[in-house]
């Protein structure tokens, strides 16, 4: 391994069979085990807590498409300049959209993208929630409803944006390194 996954030296426990199976499924489906999972794997309870929440948010049922959730992930991570999340989720936007430039716009500045008013409002909310959470008011929720989002959609936008505000900070705090494979994907 040419580079550690994080800057922390954490005692690595023996992986359970369930975790080994989960990681094998990752390799099968994604071609790799995302480093974030390896970073959490020093404690399987923490790993499961992370993956349960992540999988529900990003892959579960929602009025938001998977691409839209990835767009939120990347726009939030751009504000926070998170190398790990921009790399991994930038690749996801490229893959899910089939539009490499869209992935780059999310990484660099979502305002450069030619989005529908609905998606623009979604990212405006996610970014305001990231930058100045204390200043969110009813008018901000009303703006989302005004472009057609349901209250359940608002929950999903909020909790996705909030989740990446968490992940960005875990990654920053431990200097988490993304898998090298992401860089070349879906270019």
Q: Minimum Å distance from CB 69 to its own copies?
A: 14
Q: Give the x/- contact pattern for its own copies in 72-111, rule: CB under 8 A.
A: ------x-xxxx--xx------------xx--xx-xxx-x
Q: Taking each helix axis from N to C terminus, what angle separates 138-146 and 151-174, rounded to the nearest 10 degrees?
A: 120
Burial class (CB within 10 angstroms; exposed 0-12, middle 13-18, buried 19+) of 14: exposed
Sign of CA dihedral 127, 182, 68, 171: negative
Q: Residue 80 or 95: which CB sits closer to its own copies?
A: 80
Q: Residue 24 or 46: which CB sits closer to its own copies?
A: 46
Q: Residue 24 or 130: which CB sits closer to its own copies?
A: 130
Q: What is the distance between the alpha carbons of residues 160 and 171, in angstroms, rounded to a whole number?
A: 16
Identify whether the C-beta of residue 39 lies closer than 8 Å to the C-beta of residue 7: no
- Which stretch in 14-22, 30-38, 64-72, 179-187 sits in contact with its own copies by CB under 8 A? 179-187
Total residue count of the chain as it appears in this document: 187
Residues 128-157 that bind its own copies (CB under 8 A): 129-130, 133-138, 141, 151-152, 154-155, 157
Sign of CA dihedral 132, 134, 140, 144: positive
What tokens does 158 get? 């909020």
Return residues touching its own copies (CB under 8 A). Answer: 7-11, 42, 45-46, 48-50, 52-53, 56, 60, 78, 80-83, 86-87, 100-101, 104-105, 107-109, 111-112, 125, 129-130, 133-138, 141, 151-152, 154-155, 157-159, 161-163, 165-170, 172-175, 177, 180, 183-184, 187
């Amino acid at each position: 391994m040419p580079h550690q996954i994080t800057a922390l030296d954490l005692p690595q426990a023996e992986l359970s069979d369930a975790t080994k199976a989960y990681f094998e499924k990752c390799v099968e489906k994604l071609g790799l085990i995302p480093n974030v999972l390896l970073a959490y794997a020093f404690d399987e309870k923490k790993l499961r807590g992370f993956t349960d929440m992540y999988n529900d948010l990003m892959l579960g049922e929602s009025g938001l498409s998977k691409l839209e959730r990835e767009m939120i992930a990347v726009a939030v991570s751009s504000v926070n300049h998170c190398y790990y999340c921009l790399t991994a989720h930038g690749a996801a936007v490229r893959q899910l959209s089939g539009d490499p430039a869209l992935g780059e716009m999310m990484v660099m500045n979502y305002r450069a993208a030619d989005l529908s008013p609905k998606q623009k409002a979604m990212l405006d909310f996610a970014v305001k929630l990231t930058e100045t959470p204390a200043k969110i008011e009813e008018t901000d929720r009303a703006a989302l409803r005004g472009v057609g989002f349901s209250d359940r959609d608002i929950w999903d936008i909020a909790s996705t944006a909030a989740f990446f505000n968490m992940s960005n900070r875990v990654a920053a705090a431990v200097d988490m390194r993304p898998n090298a494979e992401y860089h070349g994907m879906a270019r």
